[in-house]
């Protein structure tokens, strides 16, 4: 392995080649993998996984080789991605062409062994959530994996009474510590008469539990939403988010969110959401369909008819070869008595930990 390897945690679910990775990692021959690493990879990545800046070989490389001994980098990169890059070279996922394909030089088992060994080069990486659990971003369901992302969301509501408001959200997420991230959101709304920033939200999310063998992850978050209008209450928002790989072709994500207005908590509501993504190909720039269902329940009514149900078919399109820039689009249909006919959603995602916005197109 040489050159800058593997910069693509935000799209690992698209390359879930099988559910047997945990078994493969346990059965991998680490001694054989170490031998292969020292013979082929160490010239660029260093014997410990950290490139030697004084090495004449490393000095000729641009970009510089990835530091495989960094526990954050090592953990957030799915082993499936590393196998793809080692097998087919950096360009396969929009990375550096100086990372050569090893398909002709190494057998599949040798590639699996060397990747398994490379995963051991970052002490403490097992205390970070693994990138295999970084599933696709849904439209409404909250994700469990901590992110380094910029997300731009747009929503247009086709209302029955002719009021068709537009809502846009700029969301910036930054990881900190081993399992957490901070989040800042700015909400802009335009109802055709008034257009203004209506809310600024800030908070944090942390991973509570994960299991790589079961491919599951659970997180909790706490957000404070500051209203910019005098007649609108601030809100405290908390949620739990869960993700699970159902098979090599499907993932499930769900979340439960509680919204509490500061002025009167009895006006609060609970929102439940769930989504299943269908992973029909390993091509990152393919169209991946998903189906999402939501239910919103106000505190102040015990009437079952007060629950607002929606269904939201959607697609995700990877725009870059590595999928770190992606577009989601969906149409939300109410299934109960609601004040609108349809809502149109569009979400632009940039996982900036994987590289620049213009990289790998």
Element (H, E) at 229: none
- Residues whose CB is less than 8 angstroms from the CB of residue 302 and which lie 6 or more positions away in sequence, other chains included: none
Cβ-contact 250, 243 below 8 angstroms: no
222: in domain: yes
Asked whether residue 76 falls in the same domain as residue 116, the answer is yes
Asked whether residue 77 falls in the same domain as residue 224, the answer is no
Looking at residue 201, its pLDDT comes to 98
348: in domain: yes
Asked whether residue 46 falls in the same domain as residue 185, the answer is no
Asked whether residue 151 falls in the same domain as residue 100, the answer is no
Q: Which two tokens stand for residue 224?
A: 């404070």
Asked whether residue 141 falls in the same domain as residue 56, the answer is no
One pLDDT digit (tens) per residue for the chain, 361 residues: 543 333 333 333 333 333 334 444 457 899 999 999 999 999 999 999 999 999 998 889 888 888 999 999 999 999 999 999 999 998 888 888 888 899 889 999 999 999 999 999 999 999 999 999 999 999 999 999 999 999 999 999 998 766 789 999 999 999 999 999 999 999 999 988 889 999 999 999 999 999 999 999 999 999 999 999 888 999 999 999 999 999 999 999 999 999 999 999 999 999 999 999 999 998 889 999 999 999 999 988 666 668 999 999 999 999 999 899 999 999 999 999 888 899 999 999 999 998 899 999 9
Looking at residue 339, its pLDDT comes to 84
The structural domain count of the chain equals 2
Q: Which residues, listed in sequence order, are joined to residue 188 by a DSSP beta bridge?
A: 168, 197
Domain that holds residue 348: 131-354
Tell me the whole-structure pTM to 2 decimals: 0.87
Asked whether residue 245 falls in the same domain as residue 341, the answer is yes
Residue of 85, 4, 62 whose CA lies nearest to 322: 85
243: in domain: yes
Q: Which two tokens stand for residue 35?
A: 């031998």
Residue 46 sits in a domain whose CATH number is 1.10.760.10
1: in domain: no
**Last residue of some domain: 127, 150, 166?**
127
Cβ-contact 155, 344 below 8 angstroms: yes
Asked whether residue 91 falls in the same domain as residue 157, the answer is no
Asked whether residue 203 falls in the same domain as residue 151, the answer is yes
34-53: burial string, b at 16+ Cβ within 10 Å, e else: bebbeebbbbbbbeebbbbe
**Last residue of some domain: 89, 112, 127?**
127
Asked whether residue 233 falls in the same domain as residue 323, the answer is yes
Asked whether residue 42 falls in the same domain as residue 158, the answer is no
Asked whether residue 117 falls in the same domain as residue 144, the answer is no
Cβ-contact 149, 300 below 8 angstroms: no
Q: With H, G, I as helix, E, B as strand and everything else as coil, classify residue 40.
A: helix
154-179: burial string, b at 16+ Cβ within 10 Å, e else: ebebeeeeeeebebbbebbbbbeebb
Looking at residue 140, its pLDDT comes to 97
């Amino acid at each position: 392995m040489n050159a800058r390897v593997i910069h693509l945690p935000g799209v690992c679910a698209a390359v879930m080649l099988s559910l047997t990775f945990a078994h493969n990692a346990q059965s991998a021959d680490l001694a054989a993998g170490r031998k292969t690493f020292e013979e082929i990879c160490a010239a660029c990545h260093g014997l410990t996984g950290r490139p030697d800046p004084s090495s004449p070989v490393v000095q000729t490389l641009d970009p510089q080789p990835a530091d495989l001994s960094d526990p954050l980098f090592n953990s957030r990169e799915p082993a499936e991605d590393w196998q793809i890059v080692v097998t087919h070279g950096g360009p396969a996922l929009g990375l550096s062409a100086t990372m050569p394909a090893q398909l002709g030089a190494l057998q599949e088992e040798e590639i699996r062994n060397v990747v398994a060994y490379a995963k051991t080069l970052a002490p403490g990486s097992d205390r970070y959530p693994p990138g295999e659990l970084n599933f696709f971003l849904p439209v409404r369901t909250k994700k469990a994996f901590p992110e380094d992302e910029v997300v731009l969301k747009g929503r247009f509501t086709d209302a029955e009474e002719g009021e068709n408001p537009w809502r846009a959200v700029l969301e910036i997420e930054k990881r900190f510590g081993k399992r957490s991230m901070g989040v800042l959101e700015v909400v802009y709304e335009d109802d055709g008469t008034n257009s203004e920033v209506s809310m600024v939200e800030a908070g944090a999310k942390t991973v509570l539990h994960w299991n790589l063998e079961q491919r599951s992850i659970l997180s909790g978050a706490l957000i404070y939403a500051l209203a910019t209008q005098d007649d609108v209450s601030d809100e405290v928002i908390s949620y739990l988010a869960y993700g699970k790989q159902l098979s090599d072709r499907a993932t499930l994500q769900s979340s439960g969110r509680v919204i509490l207005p500061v002025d009167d908590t009895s006006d609060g509501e609970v929102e439940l959401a769930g989504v299943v993504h269908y992973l029909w190909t390993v091509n990152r720039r393919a169209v991946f369909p998903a189906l999402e269902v939501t239910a919103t329940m106000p505190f102040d009514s015990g009437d079952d008819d007060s629950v607002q149900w929606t269904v939201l078919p959607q697609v995700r399109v990877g725009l870059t070869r590595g999928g770190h820039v992606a577009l989601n689009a969906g149409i939300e249909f109410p299934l109960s008595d609601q004040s609108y006919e349809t809502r149109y959603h569009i979400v632009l995602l940039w996982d900036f930990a994987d590289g620049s916005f213009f990289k790998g197109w």
